Structure 1
């Protein structure tokens, strides 16, 4: 049997209850956890959906240079996320391991969000340098939020059913952030900016920053950590990284999440161009963008029941196969806006089921890690998942930016070649990525295995 150790607190925060008698997660705590994802997602979805548009159409930066900006900044985050994950595992405070980061990072993150959606006067080189600095700093601060937030769930509960509920609450928070960020941004930019998009984007970013602050402070105050392992704060790093890479559940989660966010980044960044230049219906932006992930709100309510019956593997494969079929039909009904939107919304709901599954998979990978190697390493494992979301989004956005650059996209004179590239990026990219996701999820090891893992770790804890 693999090595296992007890899960309990080291220098526990006030109010800690030992694992054997830990109380259930309270309803408001679940809601607050979902609001935590709203806080993390609001800014990042606004960045994913509109920063490429802001850089190319408002700051007037070259599309190819913007693509490089996205890619290099997120590759740099590879080391940042890993470092934050290791730091979380070594954090010892009276507030716990993850919660201090929500308190310490909230204000500077909110400030950087506003600065990122602000441009300066000057040469293209100066504006590009400003964009590099602000976007890179925003990504670094996001790491100090997203990694601890992902590490928090396995510390809150070990019950698989409760984790599915927390995953659903997180999905609702994600959905709310997507709907607000994608549906409200452009109308608010127009309303507040009164025709000045530069001013409008800065003011909207300020509103989003205030909402983010409120949700993060509530997350810090309301959610509790209950489970820890005995890993010493100063233990060697490389053995833990090597163990993480041998954790099959973590690898599947990482790759599945990475592919999901490559698709997400592609679709978010190309949708505005697709609606305006291909569909000739700018009004569809306010429907297509929220539907990309806003349908998480619907799927969150029935995802636990579906995955309880099918398991993660079969449920995700079934949802993705049906979503691929619907995406293949979309080009055939492009001229029929009502039918197009209907098929797209159904496909988005199916894909949202798989996004809900990712949250639970990430927590289950921690249990699997403890069962295999005797330590939980929530921070380190969560850093990898956070990295997959940011790198995936960056790769997806960079691909679209490079495609626009290669086809000579000019917002003042869009060519037929650029429109064709936008069209097939919108359809072909997501289909290929979903096929790859099916291949990855086939290797998920935890379906039907949760009871064995928990039983054997509980025996070791006794």
Structure 2
């Protein structure tokens, strides 16, 4: 195995590549439901359908992008051309997504679907090569965990800006007009994304090549091999469930804080705690997972997360703690701990995604990083879409009316907020327990290698 030594500039640039791609995605995940239903005034059930249908189409689009990456050969390598040529279109579509015109409701729904779908397509053209880049940069497991930690840092900064900073910036830049505020914020975030993606293109290089010739790539047999790759299947399922939960909680937290707890000031407190948890876990997850292995480390993190979620639910009705002039709900402490612990698993996902190429090569003699990464990208986007749609459908099921929220609606949102998260976490634990690559996996796999 090669031991390519990665510089700090490479590690940092790789990490902030995630920031470049995820900033727009995090803002959309956290506020597009709010923007569509409250700012534009579209019906929640229709918005949920847009989220669901648009992302399910990624199950077709993402593998095509993955195949293109595996076939690409250029003077910039296999992945870096995509960073170069998709950055500006990605930012332009992001701005258009939060710029719904004053048309009829039907025309607005069509516009929302087309721009949201276009945002997903352009993101696929960048994020799939980005994920494929990690196993091309190094094959050292410790280095990959470090890259995963840097990627978690990039993710957390993207979440901080995309969630915590969005509404204050909307207010500051919009002058009381939320539509104008969202437009201004997309211009600012788009510029930051362009800088991050330029760093990714300039500083990160591919050092490990797939020896299989691009011309020998056959799509259907390659996809069949991918589906028989147990490591890939576990990573896909684990990632899908993570982002369904993350998307649902991210979208519903706004309504949970504003309408259930009835403290709107909690929105810019609870959403940053998610990003703060990601940032802290970026430093603690690599040494933990290096010691425990992916399977045991992730299952332990999920078990602790479930305990913290139960504590949050138990403290939901507890009397506020008075801190100075501010009445603070006691559930905030376990909520922050929950954000840290669950975020340990995202570093595990990044490392798992890179390792699937090693498992694939051991089984089939080829790496196919692009195709394997496309599947993980699909699980991320479909998971977020299912989670966002689930949040929208919860609001519709609860009969949510922004101007007159009933007690029954508050109760339904509260129940869904905790029960959905708990059920999905339990499923994640069951899936990751099947991870095949801890310990002496090569020796165990030897009898079935082709």
TM-score by length of 1: 0.92
CA shift, 1:287, in A, is 1.9
Which one of the candidate residues 387, 393, 396 is aligned to 1:402? 393
Cα RMSD, aligned residues only: 1.7
Gaps of 5+ in 1: 1-18
CA shift, 1:450, in A, is 6.0
Question: Conserved in 1, the CA contact under 8 Å of 2:4 and 2:207?
Answer: no
Question: Conserved in 2, the CA contact under 8 Å of 1:156 and 1:227?
Answer: yes
CA distance in 1, matches of 2:446, 2:137: 18
* Deviation sequence 1:236-280 (CA, Å, 0-9, x none): 111110111111110000000000000011011101011000111
Which residue matches 2:323?
Answer: none
Which residue matches 1:253?
Answer: 235
* Deviation sequence 1:41-84 (CA, Å, 0-9, x none): 10110000000000000010000000000000001111110100
Which residue matches 1:178?
Answer: 159
The answer to whether residue 128 in structure 2 is matched with residue 147 in structure 1 is yes
Which residue matches 1:241?
Answer: 223
Which aligned runs of 4 or more in structure 1 are off by greater than 4 angstroms?
450-456
CA shift, 1:292, in A, is 2.5
Which one of the candidate residues 33, 41, 53 is aligned to 1:52? 33
Which residue matches 1:41?
Answer: 22
The answer to whether residue 149 in structure 2 is matched with residue 158 in structure 1 is no
CA shift, 1:451, in A, is 6.8
CA distance in 2, matches of 1:258, 1:415: 33
Question: Conserved in 1, the CA contact under 8 Å of 2:157 and 2:275?
Answer: no
Which residue matches 1:68?
Answer: 49
CA distance in 1, matches of 2:379, 2:419: 21
Which residue matches 2:176?
Answer: 195
Which residue matches 1:289?
Answer: 271
Moved more, 254-263 or 73-82: 73-82
TM-score by length of 2: 0.95
Which residue matches 1:127?
Answer: 108
Question: Conserved in 2, the CA contact under 8 Å of 1:371 and 1:453?
Answer: no
Question: Conserved in 1, the CA contact under 8 Å of 2:398 and 2:413?
Answer: no
Which residue matches 1:314?
Answer: 296
Which residue matches 2:424?
Answer: 433
Which residue matches 2:61?
Answer: 80
CA shift, 1:358, in A, is 0.3
CA distance in 2, matches of 1:276, 1:141: 33
1:339 match: secondary structure = coil
Which one of the candidate residues 444, 451, 455 is aligned to 2:435? 444
**Matched residue count:** 438
CA shift, 1:412, in A, is 1.4
